[in-house]
């Protein structure tokens, strides 16, 4: 009996051992979990090491850089007013022509014949009017007959003017001094009204068209000087503002501006993209911050400011942008310290520790 009881106790040993092992494992897990939570809490409470920048007022040249396009001072597409066959062609591609130069002439033989006929009729009507003018002095004819003769002279003169106007429509003249582009017709071609024959551009002087944000609209005045450069050249060229639209574009919120290039040269080609620099004056006490401090939001911009050693997110308004800095016109004060590094890992209210602060 004693042996049987002892055997029964020995059978229960593995079960007891398993229970003690599970209890120990749970205790160890709880201990490790508590330690992990403490470590996480300590990491959260640890102040991130960042770099900062102290905001100070300084004088800056207010230069706004925008995009523009070079355009010829005058430009148009040469088109005939009437249909006809080209009998004379003077469209020297890439060459200069003077205002009034005959560029294209259409067939006008039928109109010339009508003109000759009307001129002959006019001569006869004038002779008849002269004879009747002598007769009316001696009451040889009635006043009504004489008036009919005078009316016929005026009517034929009007017909002649109409035919001459039609003949002039067969001529395409240079509307201004300019350079002819690539022609689209050849001698003998049949043309119709509105058909493009060639382009003509006045390139001795160029215009520069560009747009500026509406907040700079009040600074744009006639006579304002601007500098611009074109792609492929670092040379700075000068232009002078001559006019601007009297309204803001509702779609882009920009103001369209036009300037005239001072010294046009062969490197400036109409249609070229231009980078325009407008100097709007000198701001003596601008607050500038590095561009990497800006946190773009959906409808605003923010920076992180250190106040009493804690991170505070401040909404700002910006002004003039330079190569590495941007002006803050609202939201910051002089002597504020803004965070320049580690911005993505900072949350509002976090403790901050600066490894470097740029004055």
In the chain, the domains with their CATH numbers are: 49-59+284-358 (2.40.420.20), 108-169 (1.10.287.470)
Those residues whose C-beta lies under 8 Å from the C-beta of residue 115, and which sit 6 or more positions away, are: 160, 163, 164, 167
Q: What is the pLDDT of residues 213-241, one digit of tens each?
A: 888 888 888 998 999 999 888 889 999 99
CA–CA separation, 87 and 171 (whole Å): 10
3-state class (DSSP) for residue 341: coil
Q: Looking at residue 29, what is its pLDDT?
A: 43
The per-residue pLDDT of the chain, averaged, comes to 85
CA–CA separation, 148 and 156 (whole Å): 12
Residue 286 pLDDT > 50, yes or no?
yes
Structure tokens belonging to residue 41: 């809490």
Please give the helix or strand (H or E) that residue 162 lies within, else none.
helix 143-168
Residue 258 pLDDT class (50, 70, 90 cuts):
very high
Q: Looking at residue 297, what is its pLDDT?
A: 87
Strands (E), the chain: 49-54, 57-78, 84-89, 96-97, 102-106, 171-173, 178-180, 190-191, 198-213, 225-230, 237-244, 254-261, 273-290, 295-296, 301-307, 310-321, 325-330, 337-339, 353-358
Q: Looking at residue 324, what is its pLDDT?
A: 86
- Tell me the angle at which helices 143-168 and 109-137 cross, rounded to the nearest 10 degrees: 160
Residue 284 pLDDT class (50, 70, 90 cuts):
confident
Paired sense of beta strands 353-358 and 49-54, if any: parallel
Of 333, 331, 334, 340, the residue nearest 358 (C-alpha): 340
Residue 175 pLDDT class (50, 70, 90 cuts):
very high
Question: Average pLDDT, stretch 237-260?
Answer: 91
Q: Looking at residue 21, what is its pLDDT?
A: 52
Which has more confidence, 184 or 233? 184
Q: What proportion of the chain, given as a percentage, has pLDDT over 70?
A: 87
Of 96, 52, 11, the residue nearest 340 (C-alpha): 52
Which has more confidence, 240 or 282? 240
Q: Looking at residue 42, what is its pLDDT?
A: 46
Which has more confidence, 275 or 42? 275
Q: What is the pLDDT of residues 19-42, one digit of tens each?
A: 445 455 444 445 444 444 444 444
Which has more confidence, 46 or 86? 86
Residue 313 pLDDT > 80, yes or no?
yes
Torsion angles phi and psi, residue 286, rounded to 5: -80, 140
Please give the helix or strand (H or E) that residue 270 lies within, else none.
none
């Amino acid at each position: 009996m004693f042996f049987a009881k002892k055997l029964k106790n020995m059978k229960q040993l593995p079960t007891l051992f398993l229970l003690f092992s599970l209890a120990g494992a749970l205790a160890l897990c709880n201990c490790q979990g508590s330690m992990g939570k403490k470590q996480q809490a300590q990491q959260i409470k640890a102040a991130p090491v960042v770099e900062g920048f102290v905001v100070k007022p300084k004088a800056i040249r207010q230069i706004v850089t925008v995009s523009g396009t070079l355009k010829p001072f005058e430009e148009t597409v040469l088109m005939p007013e009437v249909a006809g066959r080209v009998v004379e062609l003077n469209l020297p591609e890439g060459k200069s022509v003077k205002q009034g130069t005959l560029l294209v002439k259409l067939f006008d033989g039928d109109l010339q014949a009508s003109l000759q006929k009307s001129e002959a009729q006019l001569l006869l009507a004038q002779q008849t009017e002269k004879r009747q003018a002598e007769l009316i002095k001696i009451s040889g004819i009635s006043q009504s007959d004489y008036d009919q003769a005078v009316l016929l002279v005026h009517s034929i003169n009007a017909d002649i003017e109409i035919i001459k106007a039609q003949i002039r429509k067969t001529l395409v003249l240079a509307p201004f001094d300019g350079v002819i582009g690539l022609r689209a017709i050849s001698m003998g071609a049949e043309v119709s009204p509105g058909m493009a024959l060639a382009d003509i551009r006045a390139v001795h002087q160029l215009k520069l068209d560009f747009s500026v944000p509406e907040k700079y609209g009040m600074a744009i005045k006639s006579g304002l000087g601007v500098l611009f450069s074109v792609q492929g050249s670092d040379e700075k060229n000068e232009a002078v503002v001559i006019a601007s639209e009297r309204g803001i574009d509702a779609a882009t919120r920009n103001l369209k501006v036009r300037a005239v290039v001072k010294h046009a040269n062969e490197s400036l080609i109409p249609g070229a993209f231009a980078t325009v620099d407008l100097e709007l004056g000198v701001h003596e006490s601008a607050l500038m911050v590095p561009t990497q401090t800006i946190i773009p939001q959906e409808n605003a911009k923010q920076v992180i400011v250190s106040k009493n050693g804690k991170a505070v997110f401040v909404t700002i308004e910006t002004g003039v942008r330079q190569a590495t800095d941007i002006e803050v016109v609202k939201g910051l004060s002089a002597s504020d310290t803004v965070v320049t590094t580690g911005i993505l890992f900072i949350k509002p209210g976090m403790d901050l520790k600066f490894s470097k602060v740029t004055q």
